[in-house]
Chain A
Amino acid sequence: MSDKINLRIDNIAVSVEEGTTILEAARKVNIRIPTLCHHEDLCVAGNCRVCMVEQTGADRLLPSCAMPVSEGMEIQTNSLKVRSARRQIIELLVSEHRADCTRCYKNGKCELQELSSEYIIGESGFIDLVPLKVMTIDNFSPSIIKDDSKCIRCQRCVRTCDQLQNIGALTVAYKGKNMKISSFYEKPMYEVVCTNCGQCVNRCPTGALTEKTYVEQVWTAINNDKKHVVVQTAPAVRIALGEALGMPAGEIVTGKMVSALRRLGFDSVLDTDFTADLTIIEEGNELLQRLKKVLVDGDTSVKIPMTTSCSPGWVKFIEHTFPEYLENVSTAKSPQQMFGALAKTFYAKKVNVEPEDMVSVSIMPCTAKKYEADRPEMRSSGYKDVDFVLTTRELALMIKQAGIDFASLPEDEYDSFMGESSGAAVIFGATGGVMEAALRTAYEVVTGREVPFDNLNITPVRGMDSIKEASVKIENPLPEWSFLDGVELKTCVAHGLSNAKQVMEAVKSGKADYHFIEIMACPGGCLGGGGQPIPTSPAIREKRSKAIYKEDSLKPIRKSHENPEIAQIYDEFLKEPLGKKSHQLLHTHYTERNRY
């Protein structure tokens, strides 16, 4: 192509599209320029200046993350001038940073630490400003810890919360030397609109924003002989855990993960995918019931569109932002909480353990799940249904602590009961997956035939488009569902809360006439969750997504209602979808929350 721009970086010729930044051009020829405020998912901020490079003939250094290339440029990324500027910037950052790396949660995984080790900061000529500053640590939230003494004010978190999530829970307050990252009125994160999605945690380069960890509590439970420790693993963990243990993105590590969990000492290794299938049965039936009440009975108290409820970030978001739509949210609990409620009732009985002697742990791609497990409603078993929630990253840490060489582990299988699942459950981990799973089942319930898509793959709801729509026309339904004959079932799928907000605003203004909406708080769905391995980027999420759909295609059972353990649990315990037991254990309600 003729409109390519030619330049030289460290004497290597590069030719790139117009508008490419110097940073991107350098990456193309495998030259790494250090960055801090830059993140592939976010707009350019250009505030940290560690990415400075020198252009031959120019006096001033250029920020490579913000600067587009121009024809004939000669760039040095490692000249003396660049090195000395970079070192100064790092020294300044460290001079107001509580750099107690050996005690820090981010030790070994911190971008600032990595950078300062590369530049061998040593004893600094700058005054240590840390003792002079009043810096707070906010650890009230069950999900997220915010430690201002570790913050370098790169504002990745602010941009994440604003651009990707459109929540604005974090802002830049004050200016100059007092500038800080703050919530509304510097209130604890627990009290504000923060959804606990953890997207900011996933993008913070330092230990300023981290998940609250429960690793020690879980080790204690495992080592207590009196306790039966049950663990469940969410769909999106199995396709990302490998990344935190030295494997490339997009590896399916289900079998190795199961072996690792057994080696760590969990007594029952079970699968959230089982309750994902159960969610489809309960939520699918709820949708059909709602449609019947609206279309046949003309019941105006029943709300359509119905939205999904399995993403706790989304649930908290709608409670704060669109409380007038709480009745549109499916009452079905998330798979994690369905699992927890069943673990301490049905499963405890099955394995002959008293529920008070059972500890229920879940491994989630998510930080909001920690908050969800803490909600007062989530005690249907009479106990805390899920005791401890660990992120994918925390599980990786436990595996490392135990000295397990993950890559060489054999593949193992989940325990039963509550270990069996369908392909429909696996795809819960990707945006559009719940919708696809629900349609595979609902269509078949209504018509007696398989959903009319090639190989059950409902491709219109797959992929990373921000808002996806699909409609399925119902023809020749079974007699019981004759009122749906000819109805075009309209669905919508959104991921990332900024897209969710758009969809809800369309619903509010009457511009959208959907029946069913799937919303996941995180970009890409759970596979891009706030608790997933760091880093994340569009390319990484793409690879994880491929792995999820591959896992689905390899499953012998691809529809939730065909999972034999699902049939069995209704037979033995729940009796019928939306029945009395289900209402007790598997459904919940929501609470309106404040505007800040």
Chain B
Amino acid sequence: MTEVKQLVQDLADQYGRNQESLLPILQGIVNREQHISEDAMIEVARELNISAAQVYGTATFYSFLNTKPLGKYVIRVCKTITCMMHGKNQIIKELETVLKVNLGETTHDGKFTLLETNCLGQCHKGPAMLINDKPYTELTPDKVREIIMMYRDKELRVN
């Protein structure tokens, strides 16, 4: 059995095989694999006896359910109104410059992916972003540059 198949089966054993199990299973795949591959979606459809297109529809509806392979560090900048008023556009511009990617893309070394997301519940401290699970708030272009440098340093030390 392939690894994805095994993973999907384990998740289905854990969360059940009905309509309501779909979201937790997809979330479980993202936690393990970062993104939900085409094969994983087909396996989920088979386990839950629903159509693969339905799985795709659900996966594309939620921005946290990635359907594309992502970098090691996924940066999600809040795009909702408060953060927008606090200048999230400058933040994104700075990230694009530092990382040399456009919004939605992954760096060549596969380390960083730059995405937008909806409100993170940090509106009072906007603009806000997440790097993987870690929130960063009250961002400024300078602060963003420092944060990215820190991650790059960390990566260099790992290698």
Whole-angstrom distance between the Cβ of B111 and the nearest chain A Cβ: 26
Contact partners of B57 in chain A: CB under 8 A: 171-173, 182
* CA distance in complex: A596, B53 (Å): 7
Contact partners of A182 in chain B: CB under 8 A: 53, 56-57, 60
Is the C-beta of A399 less than 8 angstroms from some C-beta in chain B? no
Q: Do A595 and B52 touch (CB < 8 A)?
A: yes
Contact partners of A193 in chain B: CB under 8 A: 51-53
* CA distance in complex: A193, B56 (Å): 14
Q: Do A173 and B61 touch (CB < 8 A)?
A: yes
* CA distance in complex: A168, B51 (Å): 5
Q: A185-B38, A596-B42, A596-B45 are in contact. Are A169 and B51 (CB under 8 A)?
A: yes
Q: Do A168 and B50 touch (CB < 8 A)?
A: yes
* CA distance in complex: A183, B52 (Å): 9
Interface residues of B in 51-107 (CB under 8 A from A): 51-57, 60-61
Q: Mark A161-201, 1 if CB is under 8 A from B, else 0.
A: 01000011111111100000011110000001100000000
Is the C-beta of B5 less than 8 angstroms from some C-beta in chain A? no
Whole-angstrom distance between the Cβ of B133 and the nearest chain A Cβ: 23
Interface residues of A in 283-324 (CB under 8 A from B): none
Is the C-beta of B46 less than 8 angstroms from some C-beta in chain A? yes
User: Which partner residue on chain B sits nearest A168 by CB separation?
Assistant: B51
* CA distance in complex: A394, B54 (Å): 32
Which one of B42, B45, B56, B57 has the highest number of Cβ atoms from chain A below 10 Å of its Cβ?
B57
Q: Do A596 and B61 touch (CB < 8 A)?
A: no
Q: Do B53 and A170 touch (CB < 8 A)?
A: yes
Chain A facing B: main interface SS: loop
* CA distance in complex: A209, B57 (Å): 19
- Residue from A167, A175, A185, A595 in contact with B56 in the complex, judged by beta carbons closer than 8 Å: A185
Contact partners of B45 in chain A: CB under 8 A: 595-596
Contact partners of A595 in chain B: CB under 8 A: 42, 45-46, 52
Contact partners of A192 in chain B: CB under 8 A: 52-53
Is the C-beta of B129 less than 8 angstroms from some C-beta in chain A? no
| CB contacts between A and B, total, < 8 Å | 52
Whole-angstrom distance between the Cβ of A140 and the nearest chain B Cβ: 17
Contact partners of B55 in chain A: CB under 8 A: 184
Is the C-beta of B41 less than 8 angstroms from some C-beta in chain A? yes
Q: A173-B60, A174-B60, A175-B61 are in contact. Are A183 and B42 (CB under 8 A)?
A: no
Q: Do A184 and B56 touch (CB < 8 A)?
A: yes
* CA distance in complex: A192, B53 (Å): 9
Chain B facing A: main interface SS: helix
Q: Do A174 and B61 touch (CB < 8 A)?
A: yes
Q: A184-B41, A595-B46, A596-B42 are in contact. Are A168 and B54 (CB under 8 A)?
A: yes
Contact partners of A167 in chain B: CB under 8 A: 51
Interface residues of B in 6-63 (CB under 8 A from A): 38, 41-42, 45-46, 50-57, 60-61
User: Which partner residue on chain B sits nearest A596 by CB separation?
Assistant: B52
* CA distance in complex: A168, B50 (Å): 8
Contact partners of A170 in chain B: CB under 8 A: 53
Q: Do A183 and B53 touch (CB < 8 A)?
A: yes
User: Which partner residue on chain A sits nearest B58 by CB separation?
Assistant: A171
* CA distance in complex: A169, B41 (Å): 14
Contact partners of B60 in chain A: CB under 8 A: 173-174, 182
Contact partners of A162 in chain B: CB under 8 A: 51
Q: Do B42 and A171 touch (CB < 8 A)?
A: no
* CA distance in complex: A185, B53 (Å): 7
Q: A184-B41, A595-B45 are in contact. Are A173 and B51 (CB under 8 A)?
A: no
* CA distance in complex: A162, B57 (Å): 13
Which one of B42, B52, B55 has the highest number of Cβ atoms from chain A below 10 Å of its Cβ?
B52
* CA distance in complex: A175, B52 (Å): 18
Whole-angstrom distance between the Cβ of B143 and the nearest chain A Cβ: 30
User: Which partner residue on chain A sits nearest B67 by CB separation?
Assistant: A185
Whole-angstrom distance between the Cβ of B43 and the nearest chain A Cβ: 9
Whole-angstrom distance between the Cβ of A591 and the nearest chain B Cβ: 18
* CA distance in complex: A171, B56 (Å): 8
Contact partners of A173 in chain B: CB under 8 A: 56-57, 60-61
* CA distance in complex: A299, B112 (Å): 62
Contact partners of B52 in chain A: CB under 8 A: 184, 192-193, 595-596
* CA distance in complex: A192, B57 (Å): 15
Contact partners of A175 in chain B: CB under 8 A: 61
Whole-angstrom distance between the Cβ of A571 and the nearest chain B Cβ: 49
* CA distance in complex: A184, B54 (Å): 8
* CA distance in complex: A174, B60 (Å): 5
User: Which partner residue on chain B sits nearest A167 by CB separation?
Assistant: B51
* CA distance in complex: A182, B60 (Å): 11
Whole-angstrom distance between the Cβ of A146 and the nearest chain B Cβ: 13
Interface residues of B in 99-156 (CB under 8 A from A): none
Q: A595-B45, A595-B46, A596-B45 are in contact. Are A171 and B54 (CB under 8 A)?
A: yes
Contact partners of B46 in chain A: CB under 8 A: 595
A sample of 16 cross-chain residue pairs with beta-carbon separation below 8 angstroms, ordered by A number, consists of A162-B51, A169-B51, A170-B53, A171-B51, A171-B54, A173-B57, A174-B60, A184-B41, A184-B51, A184-B53, A184-B55, A185-B38, A185-B56, A192-B52, A192-B53, A193-B51
- B residues lining the A interface (CB < 8 Å): 38, 41-42, 45-46, 50-57, 60-61
Q: Which 10 A-B pairs have the closest CB atoms?
A: A168-B51, A171-B57, A596-B52, A171-B53, A184-B52, A184-B53, A173-B60, A174-B60, A173-B57, A168-B54
A-B contacts besides A170-B53, A182-B57, A184-B51, 17 pairs, CB < 8 Å:
A168-B51, A168-B54, A169-B53, A173-B56, A173-B57, A182-B53, A182-B56, A184-B41, A185-B38, A185-B41, A185-B56, A192-B53, A595-B45, A595-B52, A596-B42, A596-B52, A596-B53
